Amino acid sequence: MLFDQISANKRRTIVLLLAFFSLLALVGYGVGYLWLQSGPTGTILALVVGLVYALAMIFQSTNVVMSMNNAREVTADQAPELYHIVEDMALVAKVPVPRVFIIEDDALNAFATGSKPENAAVAATTGLLRVMNREELEAVMGHEISHIRNYDIRISTIAVALSSAITMLASMSQRMMWYGGGRSRRRDDRDGGDGVQVMILVLSLLAVVLAPLAATLVQLAISRQREYLADASSVELTRNPEGMIRALQKLEQSKPMSQPVDDASAALYINDPMKKGSLQKLFYTHPPIADRIARLRQM
């Protein structure tokens, strides 16, 4: 089952790229039509931006994501317990030992990133290190190492890159809208009375406004099941289901991250870093912790 999941994750990488680049093309067309007087020109520019973002993440994903989340790298001398637990979990999982980072935050959280096991990294908050005992910390690091072994990190990292590109293009277009850009083009369309032009205008506006939501939904669609699998894989590595259950119970009681976490990075964390309200729960990228605990108790 595990190797089937790894193969499926590699296939999903291709599907994910196609989905996100399709969204990029749509947003680019909208931006080009509204502000550059040419939809195809906007599409080309958007695809170039997306390609640059994707390549940057593939080759520099660890440094980029860690910088986005204000994480600092530590050595075995600086954080001996965390470092040695990561080493132990990597040894059991038979993957290269990832780089280890710490985030200065009282919230309980952790994540893994990287385009492949050879350049992966894990990060934990200072709050997690302070509250979790050794068994619980092993469970959390086992969860993150499982993401590395299962190639979840490749999917998540590419999703972060392309979602960020889509959000950046959409935000730029919306700012131009507020400052009055593109008005002459819209007036020309109305004066011409061309119904097709008006329809393209409306669709372009919808693409710009709704694309970030669509990107979030794509991330949501791929992230929930991988959390269940990583929980189970962590138990496989530690042989200690109660350690994972207790860790999840503490994560459920954690407060939100105090530092800002962008939507693109939020899906990487083991625990929702923003602790959204009831309406926003519709867009959770993480399954409810109660459900994750229930699945572990059934094992």
Grouping H, G, I as helix, E, B as strand and the rest as coil, residue 235 is helix
Q: What's the Cα-to-Cα distance from 248 to each of 101, 201, 258, 260, 261, rounded to whole Å?
A: 21, 48, 20, 22, 21
Query: Which residue out of 73, 87, 144, 236 is catalytically annotated?
Result: 144
Contact (Cβ atoms closer than 8 angstroms) between residue 16 and residue 218: yes
Q: Is 84 labelled a binding residue?
A: no
Rounded CA gap, 266 and 205, in Å? 27
Phi, psi of 47 (to 5 degrees): -65, -35
d(CA 42, CA 45): 5
Q: Is 144 a catalytic residue?
A: yes
Distances (CA, A) of 206 to 18, 33, 175, 176, 258: 20, 12, 15, 15, 33
Query: Which residues belong to the annotated binding site for Zn(2+)?
Result: 143, 147, 227
Residues in binding site: 143, 147, 227
Show which residues are catalytic.
144
